[in-house]
Structure 1
Amino acid sequence: MLTIGMDYAFILNAVVLAFLSQNLVLLIIIGAILLLLIYIIHRVRLRNSRERKIIRPVTEMLGNVPERIRELNKEIEPFGFAYEPNQDIFYSLMYPWQRKLGYCRLYDEACAAMSMIIDCEPITFEYAGKKWLIEFWKGQYGMNTGAEVGIYNTTGPNLNIPGIFNGTFYFCVKDEECIDMSFIFRKKGNLLFTRSGHHWWLTGFKLGEYSKPSELSMDIELMLYDKKMASIFGNALKEAGYQPDEYKVQGRRVLIRFDKPHTKQPLTRTALTDYLMMRNNADLCDSYNTLTAAYIDTPDKLELLKLMDPGMYGRIIALGKPKEVFEAYNTIKGYLDLSKDSERE
């Protein structure tokens, strides 16, 4: 048995030596490849370690998170907005500059040219001796995916300005006319954010999120002044084309599912403008997300952009509809009876 074992070991050693002698070059190549892989893995780990040491949150250098949020809100307050960190969204304030400019169809028409490809849903009706507008919006606001609900009214006559505007101009409601409103905002059925408040203009904007308007939906709840107003508004929804499964009136409470708009969309929303502006919006969102990929918090990302790309930073903090959208107000304000309707806080 011992002799057999020794013979087996001798034969095995001979086979191994023969393999090594015949495949020496192959083994050298395999060994070199393994060494190269080990070196590459080591370099990658070393680089990642260095990057983790170099890239620190901006808030660590400029103050804690609450301080950075306060600083950010000071910067965007002149534009009429504030930042809400829990949902990582921007929202409109109660007394922004936009409140002085009311609303009319011309504003919606101006949006597409400003890279805002949004679905507009103006619902108009009459109640308590006034003409009312409650409008919903959703879509891509430049570098933001956003949604809005606004309430407006007027006692003035319709305007007929040849070559400029033929329709109703509405004023933002007064403080005592604000209502409780809320909405749930979804993209492809997945929750983006929620908003609620006693307001005249409830909004939310998600920076760096790119969405087609058709991918977005809003579940809106409005608490109107009384049952009569809710009933009239419900009839206006029905006349606009809403089906029974898209809205519900419960006392003075109205629920609306805003998915696909039923009213006529702005003439500026053409296939060509949608394509060109949305392509630009997608590129901007990609650039923003690439430049700020090393950071998690929006205040940190914006502080980085302020240093690296001031132009993009300026575009971002001018949230919502820019002042250019409201340029029409300067043209038509001379035709308005401001003595009755312009005293809006």
Structure 2
Amino acid sequence: MYFLVGILLLLVLFLSLFHHHRKKKICKRICSMSCDEKLEQITSLIEPFGYTYIPCQDIFSTTIDAPQRAFGYTALYDYYAPRFGMVFDCLPIYFDYGGRTWLIELWKGQYGINLGCEVGIYKADFLVAQSQLRTTLFHSIEDQEMLPISIDLFYQNSPLAHICTRHWWATAFDMGNYAQPYDLSMDVRITFPNMSMLAAYANVLDTSGKCLYRVYGLQVMIHFDYCSSCLLSGIQKWICRITQWKNRHMCHLFIWITKPFTASLDRLLYLYYYLPVSIRLLFRDKKRHKCHKKGKRKCRL
């Protein structure tokens, strides 16, 4: 018995020394890299997953040609998201324009070890009946249909991120930080190509009564804060609680493992050199990839 305890103690000591040596070696490697080298390395790692790093804000966003574009969007993705580590408030607005039904949706919340927000623009190939909105698969819009989008993300009313882009899916993700969805708020500005499309969107937004908004010319400014319609009940509520418990501890673990560094760029490079498979686990969009098969069986294409 004492012999086994001694073996275990020696094993723990060996692993600790090995971990310390490896950690020191990786830290030295990262510190010797220039900013350009770090950016080049991180870009090559995350761009295949549809993400890009914004160094001036230390946040991540998404590229126009992200692979997620092929999956479109459906309400089923939002329903299944907590099962894959994502807990958020969402504001879907469906409106009819140009002989089609469009969807502009806002999200804010926790995405695994990232807190963040999204604005996505999608459309169907036809006018969708009210009863079928939540089961229809909407497609990502084409390049010529993309709209100018501006996002200001706040954590407990303190500015956290700013994104201004012409996109179909504008996002901002802050890695290693944790928040409940109600701690976050968004000021979103969307500029429409004409008054007809703006009016179609604003009319539904006004009828929903889910958020405050103002219209300035062809631009709509939306303040997405408290979301009474996002309140959960039943098993979904417990799934979200368990998921957030896991997310909070994963954030703490991420910070602890990468604690020699403070910038997300350095933390992510450290994690990659220490455990290369971690990049795939962090940036794979499980909400779309894993939910797509479930959604495809239930959605009308």
Establish whether TM, by shorter chain, passes 0.5: yes
Runs (5+) with no aligned partner, structure 2: 1-23
Residue 271 of structure 1 is aligned with which of 225, 237, 241?
A: 237
Q: Distance in 2 between matches of 1:268 and 1:139?
A: 20
Q: Distance in 2 between matches of 1:146 and 1:81?
A: 13
Q: Distance in 1 between matches of 2:263 and 2:61?
A: 17
In the alignment, structure 1 residue 142 sits paired with structure 2 residue 144 = no
Aligned to 2:149: 181
In the alignment, structure 1 residue 234 sits paired with structure 2 residue 205 = no
In the alignment, structure 1 residue 223 sits paired with structure 2 residue 191 = yes
AA partner of residue 187 (structure 1):
Y
Aligned to 2:88: 118
RMSD: 2.7
Aligned to 2:289: 323
Residue 287 of structure 1 is aligned with which of 246, 253, 263?
A: 253
Task: Measure how far apart 1:218 and its partner are.
Answer: 0.1
In the alignment, structure 1 residue 251 sits paired with structure 2 residue 217 = yes
Residue 88 of structure 1 is aligned with which of 33, 43, 58?
A: 58
SS of the residue 1:282 aligns to? helix
Shifted more, 310-319 versus 183-192: the winner is 310-319
Aligned to 1:106: 76
Distance of aligned partners of 1:148 and 1:268 in 2 relative to their CA distance in 1, 3 Å threshold: farther
TM-score normalised over the length of structure 1: 0.73
Task: Measure how far apart 1:319 and its partner are.
Answer: 5.5
What is the number of equivalent residue pairs in this alignment? 277
Task: Measure how far apart 1:296 and its partner are.
Answer: 2.8
SS of the residue 1:167 aligns to? coil
Shifted more, 260-269 versus 120-129: the winner is 260-269
Distance of aligned partners of 1:309 and 1:191 in 2 relative to their CA distance in 1, 3 Å threshold: same
Aligned to 2:31: 60
Q: Distance in 1 between matches of 2:183 and 2:126?
A: 37
AA partner of residue 138 (structure 2):
Y
Task: Measure how far apart 1:127 and its partner are.
Answer: 1.1
Distance of aligned partners of 1:88 and 1:319 in 2 relative to their CA distance in 1, 3 Å threshold: farther
AA partner of residue 64 (structure 2):
M
Aligned to 2:3: none
Task: Measure how far apart 1:66 and its partner are.
Answer: 1.2
Distance of aligned partners of 1:253 and 1:185 in 2 relative to their CA distance in 1, 3 Å threshold: same
Larger radius of gyration: 1
- Write out per-residue CA displacement over residues 81-102 of structure 1, whole angstroms, 9 at most, x where no aligned residue: 1111111111111011111111
Task: Measure how far apart 1:321 and its partner are.
Answer: 3.7
Distance of aligned partners of 1:127 and 1:220 in 2 relative to their CA distance in 1, 3 Å threshold: same
Conservation of the 8 A alpha-carbon contact between 2:152 and 2:161: yes
Distance of aligned partners of 1:269 and 1:143 in 2 relative to their CA distance in 1, 3 Å threshold: farther
Q: Distance in 1 between matches of 2:219 and 2:244?
A: 36
Q: Distance in 1 between matches of 2:97 and 2:127?
A: 15
Q: Distance in 2 between matches of 1:146 and 1:251?
A: 28
Q: Distance in 1 between matches of 2:56 and 2:48?
A: 22
In the alignment, structure 1 residue 203 sits paired with structure 2 residue 179 = no
In the alignment, structure 1 residue 129 sits paired with structure 2 residue 74 = no
AA partner of residue 70 (structure 1):
E
Runs (5+) with no aligned partner, structure 1: 1-52, 160-164, 337-345
Task: Measure how far apart 1:252 and its partner are.
Answer: 1.4
SS of the residue 2:193 aligns to? coil
- Write out per-residue CA displacement over residues 182-203 of structure 1, whole angstroms, 9 at most, x where no aligned residue: 1100000011110110111000
Distance of aligned partners of 1:202 and 1:66 in 2 relative to their CA distance in 1, 3 Å threshold: same
Q: Distance in 2 between matches of 1:278 and 1:286?
A: 12
Conservation of the 8 A alpha-carbon contact between 1:195 and 1:204: yes
Q: Distance in 1 between matches of 2:76 and 2:175?
A: 26
In the alignment, structure 1 residue 301 sits paired with structure 2 residue 271 = no
SS of the residue 2:281 aligns to? helix
Q: Distance in 1 between matches of 2:95 and 2:117?
A: 22
Conservation of the 8 A alpha-carbon contact between 2:84 and 2:286: no
Q: Distance in 2 between matches of 1:268 and 1:68?
A: 46
Aligned to 1:71: 41
Task: Measure how far apart 1:239 and its partner are.
Answer: 1.4
AA partner of residue 179 (structure 2):
S
Task: Measure how far apart 1:303 and its partner are.
Answer: 2.5
Task: Measure how far apart 1:262 and its partner are.
Answer: 5.1
